[in-house]
Amino acid sequence: MSGVRYPFASPGWMAFMHGMIRERASRLFAEAPGVGWSICEVFTDPPPELSPTGRPIAWHVIVRDGEVSFGDTETDAAEIKIVADYAAVLPLGRFDTRGDPARAAELGAMSRDLIARGLMTVVGDRSRRDPRIGDFHDAIARVTA
C-alpha cells in the first residue's frame, strides 16, 4: 500500500472500497462467472465532518451476473446488512488482523461485544458466502484512518 489513508466511511474511503471490490469482482468473474455477493453497512451517529445533518452514512454493493452495483445508500436487498454506531465500530474498521488467526479471533470477539452491547446488528449469514470471494477486511483496515 502507498500509505494513503482515508477517514472511516468518508467519500475517499468509499471510492477505495468501490475500486477494490470492482477489481476483485472482475478477476473473479473470469474464474467463476456465477460468483456473486451483496452487503450493506450503515453507520449511525457519524461525526459532523462526514454528516453535517447527523444522518447515518451507508454503502452497499451487489455483485451479480458479472455486474457490480455500488452505492452510498442503505438497502435491504443485501444478503448481509450491518448497522453499527460509528464511534463504536471505528476500532474494528481500523483493526488489521495481518492474516493472523489469533488476531482474527480478537476481531470476532470485538464484533460480538458490540452486538452484545446493542451497538451493532448483523442480519444475514456471512458463512454462506462463496469462499472464492475472499476477505476484504484487512485491505480496508490498512487504509482506514
pLDDT value for 2? 57
Report the candidate in 15, 70, 20, 12 with the shortest Cα–Cα distance to residue 40: 70
CB 62 within 8 A of CB 38: yes
- pLDDT in the model for residue 43: 98
Q: Is the pTM of this model over 0.95?
A: no
Distance CA 82, CA 136 (A): 15
pLDDT (tens, 9 = 90+) of the chain, 145 residues, equals 458 999 999 999 999 999 999 999 998 888 888 889 999 999 999 999 999 999 999 999 999 988 999 999 999 999 999 999 999 999 999 999 999 999 999 999 999 999 999 999 999 988 878 888 888 999 999 999 9
- Report d(CA 107, CA 88) in Å as an integer: 13
Cβ-proximal residues to 80 (8 Å cutoff; 6+ apart), any chain: 38, 39, 40, 122, 123, 124, 125, 126, 129
